[in-house]
């Protein structure tokens, strides 16, 4: 858990609000929400919608909690928290919580698997993450990710991919 907190703080310090230069003198802010360790199946077992609640807060739908603007979310993994491979029920819960998005699209979330997302110990390398995290948009019926709707096109494989936003190159490595 401490590593997850340190990772989030490091991402926020390093990335914070980024600026992408637009044509001419005009510049606009590019906002990256960096997160990890949602542990969705473990938290829902205790009645907490960790991903959905964070999404609702970011979009200004939690009373007393400040909203914040974001253009993309970088989710650095540990969507699950099991000590065994996550299953389809866990994936369905994750997608149910992503459906809390009202001001953003699922395609604005770029995932990479964490150690609890069973990248190598399930029904083949990364099968759960490929199906439910789906950074390449190959399993749209399950993940809700349509690669054509991504704000920035992804190139690579499920565990190693990249995308470019203006002059910023994001490398997503598991």
CA separation for the pair 136, 155 (Å, rounded): 8
Structural domain that includes position 70: 2-173
Look up residue 158 and give its two tokens.
């499920």
User: What is the domain count for the chain?
Assistant: 1
Which of 15-24, 113-122, 124-133, 154-163 is the least confident region? Answer: 15-24
Beta-carbon contacts of 21 under 8 Å, excluding residues fewer than 6 positions away, are 27, 166, 167
Q: What is the mean pLDDT of the chain?
A: 86
What residues are paired with 170 via a beta bridge?
163
Residue 77 near residue 117, CB atoms below 8 Å: yes
Q: Is residue 11 over pLDDT 50?
A: no
Rounded to an integer, the average pLDDT of 98-111 is 98
């Amino acid at each position: 858990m401490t590593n997850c907190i340190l990772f989030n703080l490091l991402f926020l310090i390093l990335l914070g609000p980024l600026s992408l230069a637009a044509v001419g003198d005009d510049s606009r802010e590019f906002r990256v929400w960096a997160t990890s360790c949602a542990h969705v199946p473990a938290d829902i077992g205790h009645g907490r919608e960790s991903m959905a609640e964070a999404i609702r807060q970011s979009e200004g739908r939690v009373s007393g909690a400040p909203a914040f603007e974001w253009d993309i979310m970088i989710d650095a993994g540990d969507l699950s928290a099991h000590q065994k491979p996550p299953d389809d029920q866990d994936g369905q819960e994750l997608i149910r919580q992503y459906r809390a998005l009202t001001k953003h699209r699922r395609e604005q979330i770029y995932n990479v698997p964490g150690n609890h997302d069973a990248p190598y110990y399930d029904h083949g390398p990364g099968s759960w993450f490929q199906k439910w995290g789906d950074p390449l948009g190959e399993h749209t019926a399950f993940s809700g990710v349509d690669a054509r709707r991504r704000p920035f096109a992804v190139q690579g494989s499920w565990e190693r991919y990249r995308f470019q936003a203006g002059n910023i190159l994001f490398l997503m490595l598991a």
